[in-house]
Amino acid sequence: MKRRQFLHTAGAAALATALPAPMLRAANAPEDFHIAAILAFSGAYGLIGKDMRLGAELAAAQRGGKVLGKTIRFSWEDDETKPQPAVQKATRLLSGGANMIFGAVGSASTLALQSLATQRKIPQLVTISADDVITKPGGSRYSFRTSNTLGMEVKMCMEFVKLSGLKRIYAVTADYQATRDGFEQFRTMAEAAGVEIVGNDYAPLGNRDYSVIIDKMANSDADGIIVVATGNDGVTFVKQAGQVGLGKDRTIFGPVLQDETFAAATGDAALGVYSGVRYHFSTDNPANKAFVEAYRAANNVYPSSFAGEAYDGLSWWFDVIESTDSWDVETWVDAFEDSVRENSIEGRKEMRACDHQATQVGLFGKVVRGEAPLPPLTMQITSVFPPEALFAAC
């Protein structure tokens, strides 16, 4: 090294050592805290993105719109429920200096973004995608999920089948890798429990006509119908099933089939349908009561499961970053993978360092008529499962 270079480097190092921590942080800080928010605002999961945005924006607003003294700035992009637009739009935002990725909704898009996050060494926060492979032992260092896995939701469905005494199940499954995997998990559990799968049909994402499948279900001896689909696909199926009264003598249920947002889009056909629930506004703890009050004040509606999960995950993430007093990504990752959220709106959550998956309770319920001020169609929580019943040890 040339003497001038050496003196310059040594001098900078000495100056950095002499600077107090707040000055060091300011020296490394960007102009703002920029979040590349890649969600579905159209396509099969288009119903979900809007609510996630509302929850995320409230999480930022409740801390004065800042983290580490810098303004939080979201760039909202629609991935159209497709991996390619998700990666293209995230790449552009990361090239512009985004500090993290928030999203996506569909697991295929989330996994594509996970590869990008790993390559760029940029944190990715997942608050809705459920594919089990998103969080696996030895997986991506930079991705974290603060919401449910599909595996835990399938386990809840199987427990519901046992509790309800269902013996013969007909399934309809979205033709999508995560949901295919979910159905296979359910099939394995059902066979082990002596429950017969009398049929399963795969339907493409965005399917608009389930009449043939529903006719086959109606003419079967199934006493239960599991719908391994969500978003607009789940809404369409339940609507069309309601038109022929499929649920009158058969129990309709699914891992993420209904919540207040989906029920409002479905109408009365949603009544009596059972579903896993990612989050619910009725959870009785101080943090959730404060969140529900703030969300209703801002939006004049109760928060959906997607809004709640987005709010909770980002609030946790912001708090951890603030606690590090650092702009170093590796410091953020180390801190988050060893964190516990005692004041989650869903109850206690613990991030597992082995797979970057948060352990949490599981909720299951059914759609009932709500009395004012509740939504006209609301979820009644019928079962709460402890984390140890849903997550295998690392």
Q: Give tens-digit pLDDT for 210-243.
A: 999 999 999 999 999 999 999 999 999 999 999 9
**Same domain flag for 313 and 195:** no
Q: What integer is the mean pLDDT of 264-271?
A: 97
Report the C-alpha gap between 131 and 139 in whole angstroms.
13
Residue 17 lies in a domain: no
Residue 297 lies in a domain: no
pLDDT at residue 180, rounded to an integer: 97
**Cα–Cα separations (whole angstroms), residue 312 to 127, 183, 229, 250, 318:** 8, 28, 24, 35, 10
Q: What is the CA radius of gyration of the chain?
A: 23
Q: Is the pLDDT of residue 5 over 90?
A: no
Q: What integer is the mean pLDDT of 328-336?
A: 98
The enclosing domain of 370 has a CATH number of 3.40.50.2300
The tokens describing 221, both together, are 């001896």
Report the C-alpha gap between 311 and 127 in whole angstroms.
9
Q: Which residues, 6+ apart, have CB-to-CB distance to 342 below 8 Å?
A: 348
**Same domain flag for 159 and 138:** no
**Same domain flag for 142 and 75:** yes
Residue 229 lies in a domain: yes
Residue 285 lies in a domain: no
Report the C-alpha gap between 313 and 357 in whole angstroms.
12
Longest Cα–Cα distance of the chain, Å, equals: 86
pLDDT at residue 269, rounded to an integer: 98
115 close to 138: Cβ distance less than 8 angstroms:
no
Residue 295 lies in a domain: no
Residues paired with 381 in a beta bridge: 365
pLDDT at residue 84, rounded to an integer: 98
139 close to 162: Cβ distance less than 8 angstroms:
no
Q: Which of 195, 194, 380 is nearest to 273 (CA)?
A: 380
DSSP 166-220: --EEEEEEESSHHHHHHHHHHHHHHHHTT-EEEEEEEE-TT----HHHHHHHHTS
Of 22 and 96, more confident = 96
Q: Where are the alpha helices (DSSP H) in 82-167?
A: 83-95, 107-120, 150-164
**Same domain flag for 252 and 369:** yes
Q: Is the pLDDT of residue 1 over 60?
A: no
197 close to 191: Cβ distance less than 8 angstroms:
yes
> What is the tally of structural domains in the chain?
2
Q: What integer is the mean pLDDT of 312-325?
A: 98
Give the model's confidence band at 29: pLDDT under 50 very low, under 70 low, under 90 confident, else very high. Answer: confident
**Same domain flag for 190 and 234:** yes
Question: 285: buried, middle or exposed (CB in 10 Å: 19+, 13-18, 0-12)?
Answer: middle
59 close to 314: Cβ distance less than 8 angstroms:
yes
**Same domain flag for 101 and 53:** yes
Residues paired with 380 in a beta bridge: 366
Mean pLDDT is lowest, of 15-24, 145-154, 215-224, 377-386, for: 15-24
pLDDT at residue 205, rounded to an integer: 93
**Same domain flag for 345 and 371:** no
Residue 249 lies in a domain: yes
Give the model's confidence band at 394: pLDDT under 50 very low, under 70 low, under 90 confident, else very high. Answer: confident
The tokens describing 96, both together, are 């512009």
**Same domain flag for 219 and 201:** yes
147 close to 349: Cβ distance less than 8 angstroms:
no
Q: What integer is the mean pLDDT of 172-201?
A: 97
Residue 19 lies in a domain: no
Please tell me the pTM assigned to this model. 0.90
43 close to 82: Cβ distance less than 8 angstroms:
yes
The tokens describing 27, both together, are 């020296």
Of 22 and 143, more confident = 143
Q: Is the pLDDT of residue 386 over 90?
A: yes
**Same domain flag for 237 and 369:** yes
**Same domain flag for 91 and 183:** no
**Same domain flag for 77 and 182:** no
Residue 250 lies in a domain: yes
pLDDT at residue 21, rounded to an integer: 42
Task: Provide the residue range defining the domain that includes 36.
Answer: 26-148+306-359
**Same domain flag for 247 and 376:** yes
Question: 388: buried, middle or exposed (CB in 10 Å: 19+, 13-18, 0-12)?
Answer: exposed
